[in-house]
A and B are shown apart, each in its own frame.
Chain A
Amino acid sequence: MPGTVQSIERAAAILRTLAGGPGRLGLTEIARTLDLAKGTTHGILRTLQLVGFVEQDRVSGQYQLGGALLHLGTSYLDINELRSRSINWADPLAARSGESVRIGTVLEGRALVVHHVFRPDDTFQTLDVGTLLPLHATALGKVLLAYRAGGPVPELETFTRLTLTDPRALTTALEAVRDAGWASEVEEFLLGQAAVAAPIRGYGGLVVGAIGISGPVDRVCDSRYRPRAHLVGFVRDAARAISRDLGATR
């Protein structure tokens, strides 16, 4: 069988063994059942534990299927966990960029704001955690769309005359997002407003959310309506720092 990965086959076999077993199984039992070396089995179990597919009982040291397997189809990372793990990096992004920061994740075809840091100018602002934003018309949403496999194509509602409402234009834009590693939006959602966002990755590089800044066009963009390079740099640095904390390797 050309092109198969042995360790994934073994991991699948371990999961099947645990699923078919009476409950928890010890390392020796699992290794013996599959005729694998204990060291190899332990390495795979540790990796499966890291991604939440396997759990180890604290007292007996035995293994069982992990909670993450039950939620495979739903959310990968709890949104409150995502906020908690991002909060230390969202604040410096707001301080350095001088703009407000939002973190978003996909919920029912839209971008759910899970964290919001005010623009650091001490003016009156309102927390909009829980707000749903259109995926195709916002920088956060475009990042989330660009790294989402399949899923229904959102309804391309018009917000301004610059909103991308042509599916082909959106596809091209999303390809550009994947090439660049970040997304922008200039007056596509609100007149006079622009935004930049980058992906937050978890284990194995899976995109679990997006972080971005938004503000007036004349502050976020240069005279050619392109996001200022240093702001893009700040956003990508913050996204990378959160990703590293979440266990992404790059």
Chain B
Amino acid sequence: MTDRYVVAIDQGTTSTRCIVFDRRGQLVSLAQQEHKQYFPRPGWVEHDAMEIWRNVERLAPRVLSRAGIRLDQVAAVGIANQRETTVIWDRLTGAPVGRAIIWQDTRTSPLVHTLASSPLASDISEISGLPLATYFSGPRLRWMLDHTPGLRERAERGEVLCGTMETWLIWNLTGRAQHVTDVTNASRTMLLDVRSLDWSPRALDFFGIPRAMLPAVRPSIGGFGTASEGFPGVRIGAALGDQQAALFGQTCFTPGEAKCTYGTGSFLLLNTGTDLVRSDNGLLSTVAYQIAGGPAVYALEGSIAITGSLVQWFRDQLELISSAPEIETLARTVADNGGCYIVPAFSGLYAPYWRSEARGVIVGLTSYITKGHLARAVLEATAWQTREVVDAMNANSGLTLTTLKVDGGMTADNLLMQMIADVLDVPLVRPLAVETVSLGAAYAAGLAVGYWPDLDGLRRNWHIAGQWMPAMDPGVRNVEYTNWRRAVERTFDWIQP
């Protein structure tokens, strides 16, 4: 019998990857392609959706040939994608209408400010489980409809379709047969009723979005049709937002289990089971996953907008390092931050503050500060932002986090992992699979087609690959945390309404 495999497509913020996994959940081959980031104005961030689809088409045969396997050995394809990134395209030609507006984009700030003054705003937050913010897709769709002449009429006539990236990819993979989204991605639009798991007529009305342009909402794990492009003949078993995929890849299937993924941004998700838990301190109520025929499983989420992208900024815009991992080398040239703090509120602040008008600051500059201190402040920013989210999570759930499961590219940075363990004062555990986003998509797709029998089977694949123990003096921790919070306060109210 020939071995069979599962392929994950991880459509991320900076690149798209295809990864082949084996039955033990281990990586067999990987192919990756970066795509262009467009920054047409301050606060605007865009992608070319067509470039991203072409990348998937190119990566598909490459990843199979690197694994030395044939198409008929692929049991299923699963998709994990950057969330909240929104694209509109022409139903007939398949051409995107303008560029995709990505999750970090803050152009809807004035719109969100106006919408927030409506008496209905709090109802919409209640329905969707999300605070009204530029981060989510709903305001973004409205902005596109408002700013493209004739688009609203075309949307009402059903001539254009919209979706987040998994919708765009599935539509293309299935030869334009399926216009669908999954519940996790849909739960990030502010348009979904997070309890009934269908589009909320009140939310659509509030944002002014014609229902005709929206995809059908499906469970995350089930069926999204069979691919005719890219991986022709292979079933698309699952689609999940990238952070939900990582929660699944970390096998956090039981209420109380949590993970934090360190990528462009960082996202801490806590499984809350089939109960939707409300947050009164800046966390999001979101869908974790839904297996077809079963109830939805929910999560509380603490979202941090800028972590890895701060390192990228340090590399590409300041040109102080030539590759991202060198941040650790540079940070180790000094013993501490020298009194310098960087708060990367590039797109405002996400959890637990949700302040769209905040902008980044570097404070504590003196002539003593070197680029080594700045590098340390860059890494510490990720550590302290994690601490704030964990504090909110502990307060909200009534549980106290005793260890944190981590994953994502930044877990290769040992200094950062030690810093996070130090500021949280709990051990950090990395599983034997850094690519948990892709792994989660693969697990979900494999589960959908019976490649893996059940959740317990997946759990047995999880092993500890590394652990960092806290070793910081409590006095130092308190002083530094106070300084960090003072630095955060200095970002507030920078953008005038």
Contacts and interface: CB of A to CB of B under 8 A. Distances in A.
A126 B418 CA distance: 13
B409 A94 contact: no
A95 B466 contact: no
A117 B409 contact: no
A95 B463 contact: yes
Chain B CB within 10 Å, residue with most, of A96, A116, A127 = A127
Given A78-B325, A80-B329, A88 B30 contact: yes
Interface string A167-194: 0000000000000000000000000000
Contacts of B413: 80, 84
A87 B412 contact: yes
B269 to A, nearest CB: 22
A87 B434 contact: yes
A91 B329 contact: no
Interface string A70-93: 000000001111011101110110
Contact of B414 (A91, A96, A118, A129): A129
B435 A88 contact: yes
A84 B324 contact: yes
B432 A91 contact: yes
B479 to A, nearest CB: 26
Contact of B434 (A88, A96, A126): A88
Given A80-B413, A95-B26, A120 B328 contact: no
Interface string B316-330: 000000111111110
B329 A120 contact: no
A122 interface: yes
A164 B465 CA distance: 32
A121 interface: yes
B131 to A, nearest CB: 35
A16 B468 CA distance: 48
Contact of A91 (B27, B322, B324): B27
Main secondary structure of the interface of B (DSSP, over half): mixed
Interface in B412-451: 412-414, 432-435
A6 interface: no
B281 interface: no
B464 interface: yes
A125 interface: yes
A43 interface: no
Contacts of A92: 26-28
Contact of A84 (B325, B466, B468): B325
Interface string A129-151: 10000000000000000000000
A95 B24 contact: yes
A87 B417 CA distance: 14
Contacts of B322: 67
B412 A83 contact: yes
Nearest to B331: A80
A121 B412 CA distance: 21
Interface string B9-24: 0000000000000001
B329 A78 contact: yes
Interface residues of B, number: 28
B403 interface: no
A87 B27 CA distance: 11
Nearest to A244: B66
Contacts of A79: 329
B154 to A, nearest CB: 39
Contacts of A85: 325
Contacts of A91: 26-27, 432-434, 465
Contact of A80 (B24, B30, B326): B326
B426 to A, nearest CB: 16
Interface string A88-122: 11011011100000000000000000001110111
Contacts of B327: 80
B325 A83 contact: yes
Contacts of B27: 88-89, 91-92
A120 B323 contact: no
Contacts of A118: 432, 463-467
Contacts of A67: 322
A122 B30 contact: no
A84 B433 contact: no
A125 B466 CA distance: 8
B5 to A, nearest CB: 13
A127 B324 contact: no
Nearest to B28: A92
Interface in A12-66: none
B77 to A, nearest CB: 20
B379 to A, nearest CB: 12
B26 A122 contact: no
A65 B414 CA distance: 31
Interface in B279-300: none
B214 to A, nearest CB: 37
A120 B463 contact: yes
B325 A127 contact: no
A122 B323 contact: no
A122 B467 contact: no
A181 to B, nearest CB: 21
Interface of A: 67, 78-81, 83-85, 87-89, 91-92, 94-96, 116-118, 120-122, 125-127, 129
Given A88-B435, A92-B28, 6 more contacts: A83-B325, A83-B414, A85-B325, A87-B411, A88-B27, A120-B464
User: 5 closest A-B pairs (Cβ-Cβ)?
Assistant: A120-B463, A84-B325, A80-B325, A84-B412, A80-B328
5 contacts: A91-B433, A94-B432, A95-B26, A96-B26, A117-B466
